[in-house]
Structure 1
Amino acid sequence: MPRFSKYSLLAVLLLSAGLVRADIKIGVIASSTGPTAAVGIPQKNTVALLPSEIGGQKIEYIVLDDASDPTNAVTGVKKLLGEHRIDALIGPTTTPAALAILDFVAESKTPLLTTVGSSAVVLPMDDKKKWVFKTTQNDDLIAEAVLANMATAGIKTLGFIGFNDPYGENWFKVFSAMAEKAGIKLVANERFNRTDQSVTGQVLKVIAARPDAVFIAATGGPAVLPQAGLQEKGYKGRIYQTHGVATNDFIRLGGKTVEGTLMAGGPMLVADDLAAGNPIKPMAQGYIKNYEAKYGAGTMSTFGANTYDAGLLLQKAIPDALKKAKPGSSEFRIALRDALEASKEVVGAQGVFNMSAQNHNGMDQRARVMMTVRGGKWVLLKE
């Protein structure tokens, strides 16, 4: 019979009781099925590229699919928090799902690195949102670049078509106020659902208002629908999209109807066009190379890069948290939140992160470029 010291025997007993845990557990929720799958699949796929060990600790990733449904996201979070006792969470894919899980994340004091577009998940800062960190550009950062492009093009009037959910509403709130300050008049405001099969009525109302340009606030495949409708009805003005379509799948789905689309988005999508001295360029190219080596040429997506950047932030923060507490404890989760909030000049594939107590996104102008669809691919728009 093997002999144990009293200390090793105590460790065995504690491990068997679930009181001591060596591994760090990271939960991931991604919409790998449902209407937002074009966004969620690359996020799920990217998990395989995240570090398997940080600070000498093995990292275990538990990945769940919410099928693009906020209710499923809540169910998944409850499972991850209660059954798996995760130390941190990455995801979910959609803004409605992220907003739906905020109470559970805050109550359990578990850091959430969310990959959604809307700034509503981190602003305004409060006791719940202090547990949330966001790896996609805030709406106002993207809107600023879009409006600058519109001003240069002489756009005076604008039509808006957005999702009838928090993503579309937050974009309208942010963009309409900024457009007014820029001297651009909003002449049409229409909404549609992610699962709608037709937006003909909304498109006709927008065209009837005769705007110089149309701004579409939607994500993934559903964002193609209003743009295709505008093209089919003969609209000749400029069409802008949010960074919610920053993927090659948007072009594959839209084909010729999305040619000429204008978008401000993360630099990773046009990484090869970036200047040689841009610190994001090698990080973005490295992610693309690793992703496409595993999943095939042309499959990379900025949505996956947002998950990758979440992993980079954790890679920087976890060693500091380990100095204060052990994985699996509330003390570790608190220390990890604090370390994430202290992140400075963390270079990712989508931008450079500088977090603070009031800014849990931490991205600046380095995290956005203007681009367009030309010849069936995204290219950097040189202004």
Structure 2
Amino acid sequence: MKKWVSIFVTCLLVFLLAACTSSQETSGKKEEAGGGGEIKIGAIFDTSGVAAPLGKGEMDTVQMLADQINEKGGINGKKIKLIAIDSKSDQNQAVLAMKKVIEQEKVVAVIGGTTSGNSLAMLPIAMKAQIPFISAASSKQINAPDDGAKRDWVFKVAQGDDVVMPKVLDFLTKKGWKKIAWLNVATSYGTSGHAEFQRLVKNYDLNVVIEDEFEATVNDAKAMLTRVKKENPDAIIVWGTVQETSVVVKNIRELGMNVPILGSNGLGSKQFIELAGDAANGVYFPAGKLPVIEQIPANDAQKEVITTYKKAFEEKFGYPASTFGGHAYDGFMMLTKAIEAKGTDPKAIKTFLENMKEFVGVTGIFKMSENDHNGLNTDSLVMIEIQNGQWKITE
């Protein structure tokens, strides 16, 4: 009898162990796919380094939104677990962060890529893993490269060069400024903008008298600007983001050049005005409506969304909301809508995003499609002039 009891107990233990192992494996698979009690989302932004004026607002935005959603019970009863990493304004750090959130953390999607260079470095990892990646950067090479390569798993919420550049060239034409100097930062963002400028400018009655570039770490651009001054341009385009553009703009004024300056859509942060000081006055740039939302008519479809986001952000963090934080808002809200509607399967999320129509966001009204993973046009932009340290719509 003892022998049979011993055999029975042994068989029972083996059965229980196998059942436990099977349960753990099933649980692990669910967790990897965003199952269990939480949904893992990767958030990779530059909260330190030269791009921090852009990335800090982006990271704060997604953390605020995740908290808001979790306080209301999460998405379909599951809380969001944000895997947030500072990519430190460095492409290598961005790549390492992307690998970590996808390969180790098993996120269902990633939002981030503060700069175009970082986004371009990160996207091959998302493509290979077939995980949706929503970039907050601008270059059209991110979602619609010139070589026609398919970016099936990559989406972008900022207006691209192909949307922004016609706005700038139309503005120059309306103003009658024909002799143009072009200067761009020597990064993926700057060179992509330059390529789009060269492609489109031949369609306008404009004369480009000089084209040059400067480093993202520039602290004195006077040697380059002395060459620009000799050409006596009607206007100077400085295509960069907040920190480096502020240096070049100050140098232009220090050399006594009082010509109009046009910046890029990378200037939609109050930090540009803080860094450039009085030299910021008279600078024009294209941007979404957030910086001038008080000047936007009450019947505008974006008015309520932008006003609500701006108020919540500034009350929580105590510093001004920016267009960059707005990019993060749009990407995060699109992603959560996709998860709410289709669950956490990456392919289902991708399909939902590329069929998203009439999404009213901070940046614009998005109309995505299988062939357009940005979904914005020039109507999402206004031209802004800085006057006495304040933003004013100029058209």
Q: TM-score, normalised by structure 1?
A: 0.91
Match of 1:272 in 2: 294
User: Which amino acid is 1:137 matched to?
Assistant: Q
Q: Which runs of 5+ in 1 are unaligned?
A: 1-7
User: Which amino acid is 1:38 matched to?
Assistant: P
Q: Deviations over 1:161-184 (max 9, x none)?
A: 111121111111111222221111
Q: Verify the 8 A CA contact 1:105 1:111 in the aligned structure 2.
A: yes
User: Which amino acid is 2:326 matched to?
Assistant: A
- Whole-angstrom CA distance in 1 between matches of 2:192 and 2:227: 21
- Whole-angstrom CA distance in 1 between matches of 2:301 and 2:347: 30
Q: Map 1:2-13; keep pairs closer than 5 Å.
A: 13=24
Q: Map 1:178-257; keep pairs closer than 5 Å.
A: 178-257=200-279
Q: Which secondary structure does the structure 2 equivalent of 1:113 belong to? A: strand
User: Which amino acid is 1:121 matched to?
Assistant: I
Match of 2:3 in 1: none
Root-mean-square deviation over aligned CA pairs: 1.9
- Whole-angstrom CA distance in 1 between matches of 2:193 and 2:377: 18
Match of 1:140 in 2: 162
Match of 2:382 in 1: 369
User: Which amino acid is 2:107 matched to?
Assistant: I
Q: Map 1:344-363; keep pairs closer than 5 Å.
A: 344-363=357-376
Q: Offset of 1:214 from its aligned partner?
A: 0.6
The structure 1 residue matched to 2:183, chosen from 137, 140, 161, is 161
The structure 2 residue matched to 1:81, chosen from 102, 110, 113, is 102
Q: Map 1:313-352; keep pairs closer than 5 Å.
A: 313-322=334-343, 327=344, 332-352=345-365
Q: Verify the 8 A CA contact 2:144 2:150 in the aligned structure 1.
A: no
Q: Deviations over 1:15-48 (max 9, x none)?
A: 6545442222110111111111111111111122
Q: Which secondary structure does the structure 2 equivalent of 1:158 belong to? A: strand
Q: Deviations over 1:79-114 (max 9, x none)?
A: 111110111111111111111112111000011110
Deviates more, 1:37-46 or 1:52-61: 52-61
- Whole-angstrom CA distance in 2 between matches of 1:191 and 1:75: 29
The structure 1 residue matched to 2:307, chosen from 285, 296, 321, is 285
Q: Verify the 8 A CA contact 2:117 2:189 in the aligned structure 1.
A: yes
Q: Verify the 8 A CA contact 2:53 2:242 in the aligned structure 1.
A: yes
User: Which amino acid is 1:153 matched to?
Assistant: K
Q: Offset of 1:364 from its aligned partner?
A: 2.3
Q: TM-score, normalised by structure 2?
A: 0.89
- Whole-angstrom CA distance in 2 between matches of 1:148 and 1:33: 35
Q: Which runs of 5+ in 2 are unaligned?
A: 1-18
CA distance 1:128–1:110, shift in 2 (3 Å): farther
Match of 2:172 in 1: 150
- Whole-angstrom CA distance in 1 between matches of 2:258 and 2:149: 47
Matched, 1:172 2:172: no
Matched, 1:262 2:273: no
Match of 2:123 in 1: 102
Match of 2:5 in 1: none
Deviates more, 1:53-62 or 1:209-218: 53-62
Matched, 1:57 2:82: no
Q: Offset of 1:155 from its aligned partner?
A: 0.9
Q: Deviations over 1:179-203 (max 9, x none)?
A: 2211111111111111122211211
- Whole-angstrom CA distance in 2 between matches of 1:126 and 1:79: 29
Q: Which secondary structure does the structure 1 equivalent of 2:333 belong to? A: helix
Matched, 1:28 2:52: no
Q: Offset of 1:126 from its aligned partner?
A: 5.7
- Whole-angstrom CA distance in 1 between matches of 2:128 and 2:185: 29
Q: Which secondary structure does the structure 2 equivalent of 1:68 belong to? A: coil
Alignment length (residue pairs)? 367
- Whole-angstrom CA distance in 2 between matches of 1:17 and 1:87: 14
- Whole-angstrom CA distance in 2 between matches of 1:220 and 1:104: 28
- Whole-angstrom CA distance in 2 between matches of 1:183 and 1:56: 58
Matched, 1:305 2:316: no
Larger radius of gyration: 2
Q: Which secondary structure does the structure 2 equivalent of 1:110 belong to? A: coil
Q: Verify the 8 A CA contact 1:279 1:347 in the aligned structure 2.
A: yes
The structure 1 residue matched to 2:90, chosen from 41, 44, 69, is 69
Q: Verify the 8 A CA contact 1:346 1:353 in the aligned structure 2.
A: yes
Q: Deviations over 1:268-322 (max 9, x none)?
A: 11111111111111111111100000111x5211111100011121122112322
Q: Which secondary structure does the structure 2 equivalent of 1:174 belong to? A: helix
